[in-house]
């Protein structure tokens, strides 16, 4: 089972993702509420997968993604966003995200995405 870091500025979203992953038999090793905390935990915990919210206070998910990829070009990052803006999806995939998921379909797609990203 992959070790997962969840990054989202919403306590509800963090708790929901944690519940989804743990109910699916996966191990959540860290929770971060902003980009600074995310980068620190990524470096110290070395998760196998990161779920990263796109819209956050301070640094957005795209900025944090770029820093994670600079630190580890092989990082497996799944971007989650409440926006269905196709430009965001194209930019984050180009920047190194493995997958992009709209939060509205999160419950249905997140476990499937985790399996898919682990095969990459």
The whole-number mean pLDDT for each consecutive block of 10 residues of the chain, a chain of 120 residues, reads 93 92 94 96 98 90 96 96 81 94 68 77
Q: How confident is the model at residue 93, as a pLDDT?
A: 94
| Whether 99 contacts 61, CB under 8 Å | no
**Whole-number pLDDT of residue 105:** 63
The residue ranges of every structural domain in the chain are 3-118
What is the pLDDT, as a whole number, of residue 84?
A: 66
Rounded to 5 degrees, what angle do the CA atoms 48, 41, 82 make? 75
Q: How far apart are CA 93 and CA 52, in angstroms?
A: 13
Count helices and strands (H / E) in the chain.
5, 5
Q: What does pTM read for this prediction?
A: 0.87
- Classify domain 3-118 by CATH architecture: 3-Layer(aba) Sandwich (3.40)
């Amino acid at each position: 089972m992959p070790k997962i870091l969840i990054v989202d500025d919403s306590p509800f979203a963090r708790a929901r993702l944690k519940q989804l992953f743990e109910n699916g038999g996966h191990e959540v090793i860290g929770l971060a509420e902003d980009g600074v905390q995310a980068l620190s935990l990524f470096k110290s915990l070395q998760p196998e997968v990161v779920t990263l919210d796109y819209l956050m206070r301070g640094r957005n998910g795209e900025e944090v993604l770029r820093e994670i990829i600079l630190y580890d070009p092989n990082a497996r990052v799944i971007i989650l966003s409440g926006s269905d803006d196709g430009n965001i999806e194209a930019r984050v995939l180009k920047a190194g995200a493995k997958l992009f998921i709209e939060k509205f379909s999160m419950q249905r797609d997140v476990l499937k995405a985790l399996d898919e990203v682990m095969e990459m």
